Amino acid sequence: MDHTSAMYLGAGLAAIGVGMSAIGVGNVFGSFLEGALRNPSAADGQQGRLFIGFAAAELLGLIAFVVAILILFVVK
Amino acid sequence: MAGDINPMEQFEVGHLIDLKLFGYDVSFTNSALFMVVVFVLLATFMAGGLKRQLIPGRWQAAAEGAVSFIDSMVNVNIGKGGKKFAPYIFSLFFFILFANLVGVLPLAILPGLHTFAVTSHITVTAVLAFFSFGIVLLVGLFKHGLKFFGLFVPHGAPMVLLPVIVPVELISFLVRPFSLGLRLFVAMTAGHILLEVFGSFAVQGLNAGFNGSPIGFVVWLGSFAMIIGVSALELLVCAIQAYVFALLTSLYLHDAVHLH
């Protein structure tokens, strides 16, 4: 396998991480909704925590995206 | 097919006015121009709202709503002693929000006009993140002295585990400014690349359609629908990223003020 095709394969593999973080973000919001529908009066107080969880899950996907971009445009 | 559309081209920083200071390049760039635009918009928004009428008009109500939104965020997340950080969180949130929103304005339909997303550059977001981190360090060290480093020792952790926990806590503390800056930068960059990619699909599909392959029109229609959807998603991401940046900064400030 030559260098360029290995590069593109690596970037494509890094994109799996982005999809995984989509599962994570969906899990965060889904679980929040599940709890919020059971006890709607407590939901508003937990919105800060919802976004902290969202930020943490999303960050890993964004880092995977950065890895893909680094492989494509920076690594020679 | 014709169409070498480079999705990274939109992030290029170009000189508008060339300036040199002590041998350093301090030229006025399009990035600086859009920061000025954001500042002027924000200043106009706030100046127009500072009327102090007993019955607020629409504009004053909007400005008051903005202030009370940040106020409640600071109260909930920093708690006692957080009031003095409200102006900083306010500037942070609204600078990022306005910069994000100005960045996705579809002004490129007018020839020669091209908006620039200030927050899609890590130089900008990292400076904002290091401001937040620096304030956390200064507040923590001035308020608690060396006790501030007790932040790395969680309550009730068994002594045996401390050699493991303290380095992990230290790393997670030191990574904060990078994760803060990186999150905003990548979220904005990714959104703009996505819009550009679907934009190039639409242009190339239309070209192919007029050159005699009807499937090009289908590609154009699909890409155009995606552009509308992604634009709506981008508006949501703009607001969420600004909110997350301000929220995490106020949480870190809570750590600095209260130590856990």
- B2 belongs to a structural domain: no
Q: Residue B53 falls within a domain, yes or no?
A: yes
Asked if residue B11 lies in contact with residue B114, where contact means CB atoms within 8 angstroms, the answer is no
Residue B15 is inside which H or E element, if any?
A: strand B15-17
Per-residue pLDDT for B3 more than 70?
A: no
Inside any domain, residue B160: yes
Is residue B4 one of the residues assigned to a domain? no
Of B76, B179, B190, the CB nearest to A65: B190
User: Which of the 8 DSSP states describes residue A70?
Assistant: I
Q: From CA B52, how far away is CA B72, in angstroms rounded?
A: 20
How close B38 gets to chain A, by Cα (Å)?
25
- The pLDDT score that the predictor gives to residue B163 is 86
Give pLDDT tens digits for B125-157: 999 999 999 999 999 899 888 888 888 888 887
Q: Which of A59, A67, A72, A74 to mutate to test the interface with B (most CBs of B within 10 A)?
A: A59
Nearest to B180 by CA among B244, B120, B118, B136: B244
Instruction: Walk me through the domains of chain A, giving residue ranges and CATH numbers.
Output: 3-74 (1.20.20.10)
Residue B180, classified by CB atoms within 10 Å of its CB into exposed (0-12), middle (13-18) or buried (19+), is buried
The domain in which residue B78 lies consists of 9-258
Number of domains in chain B: 1
In a domain, B202, yes or no: yes
Question: Sign (positive/negative) of CA torsion B244, B249, B252, B257?
Answer: negative
Q: Is residue B210 part of a domain?
A: yes
Among A66, A67, A70, A72, the strongest candidate for a mutation testing the B interface, having the largest count of B CBs within 10 A, is A66
Alpha carbon distance B72, B78 (integer Å): 10
What b/e string do you get for A25-64 counting C-beta neighbours within 10 Å, with b at 16 or more?
Answer: beebeeebeeebeeeeeeeeeeebebbbbbbbbbbbbbbb
Q: Determine the pLDDT at residue A27.
A: 94
Please give the Cα distance from B122 to B107 (Å, whole number): 23
pLDDT tens digit sequence for B18-35:
777 777 777 788 888 888
Identify the pLDDT of residue B4. 67
One-letter identity of residue B150: G
Asked, for residue B239, whether it belongs to a domain, the answer is yes
The percent of residues above 90 in pLDDT, for chain B, comes to 28
Q: Is the pLDDT of residue A73 over 90?
A: no
A30 to chain B nearest CA, in Å?
A: 17
- When comparing pLDDT for A30 and B153, which is higher? A30
Spatial separation of the C-alpha atoms in residues B95 and B156, rounded to whole Å: 40
